[in-house]
Amino acid sequence: SSEVLEAIENVVLNVLTSLGKQKAPVLTVANRSDWRNIEFEDSVGLQMIPCCTIKKIRSDCSNSAPKFALMLKILSMIYKMVQSNTYATKRDIYYTDTVLFGSQSIVDNIINDISCMLKIPRRSLHILSTSKGSVAGNLSYTEEDGTKVNCTCSATVFSVPSNVEGIKNLISHAKFMLIVEKDATFQRLLDDDFCNKLTPCIMITGRGVPDLNTRLLVRKLWDTFQIPIFTLMDADPHGIEIMCIYKYGSVSMSFEAHHLTVPSIKWLGLLPSDLQRLNICKDALIPFTQQDQKKLASIQKRPYVARQPVLRRELEIMAASKMKAEIQVLTSLSSDYLSRVYLPNKLQFGGWI
């Protein structure tokens, strides 16, 4: 707490010093969306380089003055929360003055900029995110407020906690963890009792692109249990992008890579080569859109692809075919092919990246 308060005080002191010298105050933030500021390291994933390009948020420029004011406003709110040991969600902050902030995305972006500027993880700023992810399977833990969560004894789905850092007493006999891209597939596997049938496991879904809490939970479970983690994604550029976020991280959150990425994650499926190997009927595949081609070309240029020849080969297979497939395409083979044949065979005999 004292570290956070001191960091905010230093920002305010710089503002006051500039005003005392009759200069326009400026806030300096690393440019989080610039690939030139990112490097790839095998053990961490995508991380921000120490000497990165910056953007200046000036108080004397009509374009940036509103953002300058909003950053000071949110810094003030964070300071009070840390002092009083209270927490708020990003949504709570937005609703304190919706007219002033304009939109939720503006608040989200400013909070990430502040976290990056102060070099302090967002959870240490006492700002929580509303979780959209779900967890099920062989896992129990205690939330920060003392609530006991036991996913093991039932097929009940639990929401990913909003304060992942605060959970404790984690217990699991799981042999592996499976990250599922879509909620529909996650629910189908639960209905098939996949978490217990083959061997005890933990299942997580971020319901598409994962939020911060889902990524934090995956990392916490990895740190705690050190069990293999597999991803089950659609065989399309969007699914590959989501797998890469869990495994290598994202550009916008690269300043927090050490807390969010798990580079040992394996891409279990659905692989583009699986579509050929299983003789999936072409009529069941979906032709690429222009957006798909653009997304795949962008992924192929990323620094981690050059270091992963097997991953590169899968991307080349997809690029050559210009076809994609959802996980549900396996139902064309049989209604329970995913849980009865595909996953057990993959987990027993290999065939992941």
* DSSP character at residue 302: S
pLDDT of residue 153: 66
Is pLDDT above 80 for 91? yes
Q: Under DSSP, is residue 331 helix (H, G, I), strand (E, B) or coil? A: helix
Maximum alpha-carbon separation in the chain: 74
Mean pLDDT of 134-142: 90
Chain centroid to CA 22: how far? 43
Distance CA 26, CA 336 (A): 59
Tell me the pLDDT of the chain averaged across its residues: 86
Average pLDDT over residues 102-129: 86
- Per-residue DSSP letter, 353: -
Q: How far is CA 166 from CA 108, 128, 143, 320, in A?
A: 22, 11, 6, 46
Q: How many other β-carbons are positioned within 10 Å of the β-carbon of residue 328? A: 15
Instruction: Supply 305's token pair.
Output: 């692809």
Question: What residues contact 328, with CB distance under 8 A and at least 6 apart?
Answer: 184, 185
Say how far apart CA 214 and CA 200 lie, in whole Å: 20
Sign of CA dihedral 235, 237, 242, 247: positive
- Strand-pairing partners, residue 231, are 179, 267
Q: Torsion angle, CA of 40/41/46/49, rounded to 10 degrees?
A: -80
94 belongs to the catalytic site = no
pLDDT at 206 over 80: yes
pLDDT bucket at 33, cuts 50 / 70 / 90:
confident
pLDDT at residue 251 greater than cutoff 80: no
| Neighbour count for residue 21 (Cβ, 10 Å) | 8
Cα(203)–Cα(20) distance, integer angstroms: 56
- The stretch 59-83 carries a mean pLDDT of 90
Domain(s) of CATH 1.10.10.10: residues in the chain: 2-128
pLDDT in tens, 289-303: 999 899 999 888 888
Give the DSSP letter of residue 284.
G
In the chain, where does the domain assigned CATH 3.40.1360.10 lie?
134-349
How high is the pLDDT of residue 190? Answer: 87
In terms of Cα–Cα distance, which of 81, 78, 111 is closest to 8? 78
- Residue with token string 């929360």: 81
- Indicate the angle between helix axes 237-248 and 212-225, nearest 10 degrees: 50
Q: Which option is the CATH number for 134-349: 3.40.50.11540, 3.40.50.970, 3.40.50.1000, 3.40.1360.10?
A: 3.40.1360.10
3-state SS assignment for residue 104: helix
Active-site hit among 87, 94, 95, 337: 95
Percent of the chain with pLDDT over 90: 20
pLDDT in tens, 318-330: 888 888 888 988 8
User: Which class in CATH covers the domain with range 2-128?
Assistant: mainly alpha
DSSP assignment, residue 209? Answer: S
